[in-house]
Structure 1
């Protein structure tokens, strides 16, 4: 097995002065990293782990095996990379702070709000409008449930569900993401006014999807899911879920680039809840800062998911707002740029308070010694 290297930020701070300037700005956002674990994996297992800071990391990188030295240098550069804004039609989505994506499901069987907006354009329009008014940067429209055990949706039915929603959201001037793994749906949605592709199969389900996305030049979200067929939750088998998902996303990114998608258009999603146990989801949440080493903006979708119920006495879906906010804040603290959520008002409010604290930290000199 090929040697692999990972640079995981393990010491995070709200401001550079908290670390006397010895910190990097993580992925161009509002989180700073000062300490790192450089992890060497050989034969599937971890063989070396070095702890370092911004002053000593060059010494660690210099002694790495030649097989991983180039990748390590790329990861170190990626951790410090400032990402350009996403362009969605006339709207520009800056990635120097967390942005909220509001979910609009037009399905009969979504785990959270199935049927609420299907065949009810006035209800869907009102919900989309409320999310935009609450501060959603993007509306993500989906016409197929991807919960465990959900039946596959026929492409024609999916089009009938999502296209009216795309049209009324476009009429509002919204930035629109289309949550689909079918090329025909993606193509029709882009023509109807959508701006971004959010593919839970990372463009694997339908071979034409990557060609359509590349031709459109639109932003693309590639999500990790272990399943190769209709069941995206199948075939989950991890040696180490964090490193395996990292490697999988790296390969998916490189495959998309090789087929004509600009790297500057790619967003990566670790796929919480897709073929992962509670322990594996929690491991990914704790390791989120590592994924900036891939050099792409990150999307986190943990809203109302089963893991929250499992940690709160099996709370029903509509009673998972507190847990959803905890996941969102964990993403913010890790420097994640995009948060896909059901509860937009509450998440935007949490983001605004979080950002206020970060802004204040940049001018907080209370930790400096007195003269």
Structure 2
């Protein structure tokens, strides 16, 4: 394995340079994700819809395509691992049939779904629970040898919004991520990506504070992923809805990049790629 630093990531033998931040496009194979525009139709044409969405995102400049089959919005309905796998595996297969070089991330907190997705061709696991919801996840990640997004979460998607009490927010989140990262690395030299977990067991004010202090997460010497796209922190602050939260997303993605984010997870790829281009230009002045 190539030496991995904060600015590189190895995906199935391909070393990605993260000196210039990358964009991850969201593809939700779910009927209930919070942003309607991100949902694939779960009917007979789901594969066709997935390929069309992937084609657009890749053309617009996405480096990763993040495929998820379990909605993690607050209060989301729980589904079985089998149903989740049935939602994501055909989507991954269809995308890779059309775009064999696409870098697919699987958005799951279940080790068995992650394993099946990687066997299907996914090259990265994006776990919103940071290993807290499936005791087999860390060993599975280590065995699969793929990069892993370790996100901060308390509780479950069903209970997380009741768990927003912190002594000192940023140090507490850093410490809790650090505990999980140590457990992960006890299984071997896993490539970890750190996600502070915006919107997960955090209030709007806490999300803004985390974003303002994003540089604190450089302590892990790992790439930082930021997922703020169209979230309630944005649209509720602006007294609007997720449908009209693109401009706010762009603004906060800019702040994230200036704070050290290496990957932006977004619904709107073209706009995020433009943010990367402009912030990189700013750095060169």
Tell me which stretches of 4 or more aligned residues in structure 1 moved more than 3 Å. 114-117, 228-234
Contact 2:22–2:262 (Cα < 8 Å) also in 1: yes
Equivalents in 1 of 2:157, 2:75: separation in Å?
Answer: 13
Q: Which is strand-richer, 1 or 2? A: 1
Query: What do residues 16-61 of structure 1 show as CA deviations (whole Å, max 9, x unaligned)?
Result: xxxxxxxxxxxxxxxxxxxxxxxxxxxxxxxxxxxxxxxxxxxxxx
For the pair shown, the structure with the greater C-alpha radius of gyration is 1
1:178 matched to which residue of 2?
Answer: 106
State the TM-score, normalizing by the size of structure 2.
Answer: 0.92
Shift of residue 240, structure 1, vs aligned partner:
1.3
Displacement, 1:122?
1.0
Match of 2:189 in 1: 262
Determine the C-alpha separation between the residues in 2 that align with 1:125 and 1:151.
26
Distance (Å, rounded) in 2 between the aligned partners of 1:203 and 1:191: 20
Give the counterpart of 1:194 among 99, 122, 140: 122
Q: CA deviation at 1:235?
A: 2.6
In structure 2, what is the equivalent of residue 320 of structure 1?
245
Is the partner of 1:238 in helix, strand or coil? coil
> Residue 202 of structure 2: which of 276, 286, 292 is its match?
276
Where do 5+ consecutive residues of structure 2 fail to align?
none
Q: Deviations over 1:222-279 (max 9, x none)?
A: 1001115863444332011111101111111111111x1415x011100000111111
Matched, 1:247 2:180: no
Superposition deviation, residue 118 in structure 1:
2.6
Match in the other structure for 2:19: 96
* Separation of aligned partners in 1, 2:258 and 2:282: 12
1:236 alignment partner in structure 2:
164
The answer to whether the aligner puts 1:150 opposite 2:73 as a matched pair is no
Whether the 8 Å CA contact 2:9–2:17 is kept in 1: the answer is: yes
SS of corresponding position for 2:114: helix
What is the deviation of 1:316? 1.5
1:24 is matched with none
**SS at the partner of 2:25?**
strand
Q: Secondary structure at the match of 2:10?
A: strand
